[in-house]
Structure 1
Amino acid sequence: MILNIDVQLAYQVTQRTDMLLQIEAADLDDQTPLESQLNMSGVTEVARVAADDGIGERVWISGDGVFRCDYAARVAIDRSETDLSALHGTAPHLLPAEAVRYLMPSRYCPSDEFQTFVAAEFGGLEGGARITAIRDWINSAFSYVPGVSNAQTTALDSFVQRQGICRDFAHVMVTLARASAIPARFASVYAPGVNPPDFHAVAEVFLEGNWHLVDATGMAAANEIARIGVGADAANVAFLNVFGQAGFVSQSVSIRTE
């Protein structure tokens, strides 16, 4: 499958401000940018730096005035859907070093507060079978409602409210997986069929030695997703971090398949 990605961003910067941009689809074994163009105005590109876990890149920029960014890409996805329920987990003491950090609680994913819940709700299941049950439980128990959460909303908040957007669904998925001693990380992605069209968020879980995409919203299939970046939670993979003041002007994200 090939995804056609078009993104436009515009922000008003009142004084010279450093910003960290991460919107480009990563070049990975299972996804390949065939064409890619990033155009910016109102800024000076400072440097490209590797993103977390070597997945994707970030761009340091400095802006003053109206910052505009246009990103267009064609990305080939070469990834099959996997039956997660058939995959085995890995005992924590056998995990590779790079997966261990994703067992730990993080800013938006207080997994240590959910161990009793996952034991009671999913205690008879292990590995991929538990991940599938968690995914299906979130999908049925939560409502996708834009506007009910904000940048401070944690997985605990969403768990209580039982509603939110993709970011919140992913945080709950990551949290319950970690509470089950299964490494999980937050992934910022592009995917077709997301409604409303926007940057999308899913979880990735570590099973049988590999990372597997899981979308608790049910809007995106693993073989249709292009990763932008990954991290412990949304704080690590924001599409734009502003180290100063910037005001929103406009934003649009369009994903088409061919």
Structure 2
Amino acid sequence: MENIHLKTITQDDLGEVTLLVGDPGRVELISANWDESRLLVENREFILVSGKWKGNIVSICSTGIGVGSTEIAIIELIQSGAKKLVRLGGCGSWKGDIAAGDLLMNHAMVRDPGMLSAYVSDNYPAVADVNLLQEIKFSAIQSGFSVHTGIGMTTQSYYLGQGRVHDIPNGPQPNDDFMTYWQNRNVINAEMESAVLFLLASIYDIPAANCLVVHVNRIDDQWVPDEKYHRYHEKAAIAVLNACINK
């Protein structure tokens, strides 16, 4: 079946690993460091590039934000023969000792009820491939990152669904106990895509993991400046690629 969104790609187009990034602009940022690259798809929020890293074919695809567009990208990549999938994104830390600019890798995700219920019931776990996660963690530590692992949360909402307030004068605001509830259960971060990746990769038997740059520490509201944030993603991408191609 031909892909509806990632049009015309084939198994020969995809590399040993496909990096998944939310921001389409991050595709060019990361693939600019490769030995060579070629644009395969540019459609809506989806930009797909393949190229060579240390002589090996690798790929990177943007997913946009959240469950819906990420599901589309992952299904069509798996349908086209993706071998490994790694989400290279950002997250907010819910622990005081996980600083903005650190790397965080989740072995499992809490997920919103009903997320991808068309594929599997809510009691199916959203978990990473343990071996792939450990390989990436080792490579990231060797690259000089401070690395943390643990259980995270994937939500379908950025504001109330992650306990954030907004400045709209009327209407709902988050429950004051939202973050505390999950912190007391040792959930260490929140983001919007990893559970989708873990669920679909597990169902279709594809190794998958995440590698997240902590953009903000939610405890002290310390953010990484945008320019540094981009540089951290470049460095993290190198660590992930080295881990995945065993170089």
TM-score (norm 2): 0.29
Structure with greater strand share of residues: 1
Report which structure shows greater RCO (CA 8 Å, sep ≥6). Answer: 1
> Which structure would you say has the larger Rg?
1
